[in-house]
Chain A
């Protein structure tokens, strides 16, 4: 794939935009501006991952870091009228300093990038990639790495999400849970709004399930698929079709799924069922990926729903 424009490649242009938006995030006076700009930064980061042939990371960056993260941040500060940070601006001075920083960093990136010679993959890299790709034929290599070589990591990542969700549930007062405020114009009961959301939900469902199940040649992974499925819950929240009982069932389901995940990984990896029945490796991977996706789906949806139903002061 030859994307070079003279000495400047497409990846370097993406890097320049990364620098621009990162500096805008840091030096923005208004917290809302900073949050939105960090979402844009996440989109550019996803494009950079895509250019370096990591579509899995690009999907997870776009779904979780850029979209869901931005939504959670906006929900967290929405009850404050105007959160601004004047001291940052006064320390740095006027916008001129930021502009000079931007231009300098962009020029440095372009120059440094044009100096870097192209590196061919060495023998060790080729060997490692072949071993990872030759794992199970059915699931995609990133999933295989995530659930085989890095399975302890993955358990702790899932544990982190459980703890985060528990924190959100415990820190929001259960008596303060209210239904969402409705609006005058173009609100949740508007037929166009409902029709659009109901038409978009199948797209999200298909994409999420396809990411979780996966195949060897497309990007996939439980985390990304779970994030896309959580977008279904958010869409249904937009037209007010979530019910209260489902939230509690979801909270229970998340913990149960996490327990099943940990127990099965311990049985399979630590106790050693992997050596006893090696032909069950691929189905095990798909099942684990499904559990992980279900868990991430429940966790992100719960975080969103609890944040969204918080009563304003």
Chain B
């Protein structure tokens, strides 16, 4: 009886884990922004994997196999959130450097400064690539497509020539 209960609990946990994996994959392909993708992918790393490991442990009952899977789960709980946070922090650092570089270039060209680069939080959520630094050509400002620097796939860009070099409109 207890064996059957363990098996049922294990199956339910594994099902929840697989569903979380599916949702995470949908999120990775659905979101366009690096941080939103990271948010979605980290769910696969922690929640889904932990659920599957717990389910496997429940299904095998009290055994060395269950102990090993719980040990693996412990390591994952220790490591994966830190890794995800590191990725997010490094991407933020990278984006900050890119923004500062653009500010410097804008000063060299003696053009009006783009959006202040220190706190770009509101800008993360807009989905459309190229929208961040796309400023009206009538204002004689620099057009900087941004999708290339956010870790998006190159197919998202409008054209490779446009994304490689910045253009100055007269």
CB contacts (< 8 Å) of A10 on chain B: these are none
Q: Which of B10-18, B22-30, B82-90, B124-132 contacts A (4 or more CB under 8 A)?
A: B82-90
* A-contact 0/1 string along B75-108, CB 8 Å cutoff: 1001100100110111011001000000000000
> Which residues of chain B in 29-81 are interfacial with respect to chain A, using CB atoms and an 8 Å cutoff?
75, 78-79
In the bound complex, residues from chain A placing their C-beta under 8 Å from that of B86 are 186, 193
Q: Least Cβ distance of A132 to chain B in Å?
A: 27
Does B112 count as interface, using CB distance less than 8 angstroms?
no
In the assembled complex, how far is the CB of residue A238 from the closest CB belonging to chain B, in whole angstroms? 9
Chain B residues positioned under 8 Å from A203 (CB to CB) = 75
Other-chain contact of A199, B78, B89, B92, B96 (Cβ < 8 Å): B78
Most buried by B among A185, A187, A203: A185
Chain B residue contacts of A183, Cβ below 8 A: 89-90, 93
* Interface of B: prevailing SS: helix
Flag if B154 contacts A29 (CB, 8 Å): yes
Q: Which of A170-203 contact B (CB under 8 A)?
A: 183-187, 192-193, 196, 199-200, 203
In Å, the complex CA distance between A196 and B93 comes to 21
Q: Are B82's CB and A192's CB within 8 A? A: yes
By a CB distance below 8 angstroms, the chain A residues around B78 are 196, 199-200
Interface residues on chain B, size class: 10 to 19
Chain B residues near A95 (CB, 8 Å)? 155
Q: Which residues of B contact A184 (CB under 8 A)?
A: 93, 96
In the bound complex, residues from chain A placing their C-beta under 8 Å from that of B88 are: 186
Across-interface contacts of B82 in A (CB, < 8 A): 192-193, 196
CA A205 – CA B90 in complex, angstroms?
28
User: How big is the A interface, by class?
Assistant: 10 to 19
Report yes or no: B79 in contact with A185, Cβ–Cβ below 8 A: no
Q: How many A-B residue pairs have CB under 8 A?
A: 28
Report the Cα distance A200→B155, complex, angstroms. 39
- The distance from the CB of B124 to the nearest CB of chain A, in whole angstroms, is 15
Contact A185 B75 (CB under 8 A): no
B157 smallest CB distance to A (angstroms): 12
**B93 lies within 8 A of A200 (CB):** no
Interface string of A295-312 (1 = CB under 8 A from B): 000000000000000000
Tell me if A185 and B154 are in contact (CB < 8 A): no
> Could you say which residues of chain B place their CB within 8 Å of the CB of A186?
85-86, 88-89
**Distance to closest chain B CB from A182 (angstroms):** 11
With a cutoff of 8 Å between Cβ atoms, the chain A residues found around residue B89 in the complex are 183, 185-187
User: 1/0 per residue A128-152: CB within 8 Å of B?
Assistant: 0000000000000000000000000
Closest chain A residue to B81 by CB distance?
A196
Determine how close the nearest CB of chain A comes to the CB of B86; give it in whole angstroms. Answer: 6
Nearest-CB distance from B45 to chain A (Å)? 14
B85–A200 contact, CB under 8 A?
no
A215 to chain B, nearest CB (A): 15
Nearest A residue to B92 via CB reads A185
Report the minimum CB–CB distance from A196 to chain B (whole Å). Answer: 4
Q: What A residues does B85 contact at CB under 8 A?
A: 186, 192
Interface centre among B86, B88, B92 (most CB of A within 10 A): B86
Contacts of B93 in A (CB 8 A): 183-185
Instruction: Name the residue on A nearest B153 (C-beta).
Output: A33
Chain B residues with Cβ below 8 Å from A200 are 75, 78-79
7 contacts between A and B (CB under 8 A): A29-B154, A184-B93, A185-B89, A185-B93, A186-B89, A200-B78, A203-B75
B-to-A contact residues, CB < 8 Å? 75, 78-79, 82, 85-86, 88-90, 92-93, 96, 154-155
* 5 closest Cβ pairs, A-B complex: A186-B89, A185-B89, A196-B82, A199-B78, A183-B93
Interface residues in chain A, defined as those with a beta carbon under 8 Å from any beta carbon in chain B: 29-30, 95, 183-187, 192-193, 196, 199-200, 203
Apart from A199-B78, A200-B75, A200-B79, what are 14 other A-B pairs with CB-CB below 8 Å? A29-B154, A30-B154, A183-B90, A185-B89, A185-B92, A185-B93, A186-B85, A186-B88, A186-B89, A192-B85, A196-B78, A196-B82, A200-B78, A203-B75
